[in-house]
Structure 1
Amino acid sequence: MAWIEKRTVETSFDLYLYKDRIDVKDSSFPIKHVLDISYRLDEKENKIGFLYLHTTGGIRTYFIKQDPSKLIEEFKVLMPSTKYNM
């Protein structure tokens, strides 16, 4: 009989924003299916946060270590003017 252990394995990957899609690891989301991108960083810990990719198929959550503000700004530029540029 073996011991049961809990192990955390950290992996790293990039999120790529293109004019027509967002690519994350092995997934691709057409821009027209992405409703919003938001995030939450723990200011006290300043170690890890959460990036939320709101899609027509649900919300995808990713752990982040860097401020994604620039990504979100660029995403909003790509969105139709009726959504963000009122």
Structure 2
Amino acid sequence: MTLLAVQRCIEVRQEIGWTEKRIVETSFDMKLFEDQITVKNDTFPLTSVFDISFRKKPDKDAFGFLYLHTSQGVRTFYIKEEPKQLVQAYQQLKAERPELR
């Protein structure tokens, strides 16, 4: 399995303590391989992925959204950097392999 692209995704959650409320950010990687996409403990075969798209404002610190369109529905992930490398690698792979179209 050859790794083609990696995209850093962000998970945001709130924790409430005795005297404060904290916002905790953690990150994880979305990895594109020749036959699948892995996100944390989830694996999506490329035959079940229809498209990858994103929306992000140009502001450096703004959160954006990465959409993974699959046969099980659309999965949404928070991002801080534009996923151009991931999207281009997926589009190129989709163009080269007719079974993914």
TM-score using structure 2 length = 0.70
Distance 1:39 1:5 in 2: 34
Aligned to 1:33: 48
Matched, 1:23 2:35: no
Higher relative strand content: 2
Aligned to 1:46: 60
Provide the aligned length of Structure 1 versus Structure 2. Answer: 81
Identity of aligned residues (%): 46
Instruction: Say which SS state the counterpart of residue 11 (structure 1) adopts.
Output: strand
Instruction: Say which SS state the counterpart of residue 27 (structure 2) adopts.
Output: coil
Structure 2: runs of 5 or more not aligned: 1-16
CA deviation profile, 1:8-41 (whole Å, cap 9, x unmatched): 3211001100011000111110000000000000
Q: CA deviation at 1:46?
A: 2.9
Question: RCO (CA 8 Å, sep 6+): is it higher in 1 or 2?
Answer: 2
Work out which of the residue numbers 57, 63, 70 in structure 2 matches 1:55: 70
Aligned to 2:24: 9
Structure 1 ranges of 4+ moved more than 6 A: 2-5
RMSD across aligned C-alpha pairs, in angstroms? 2.1
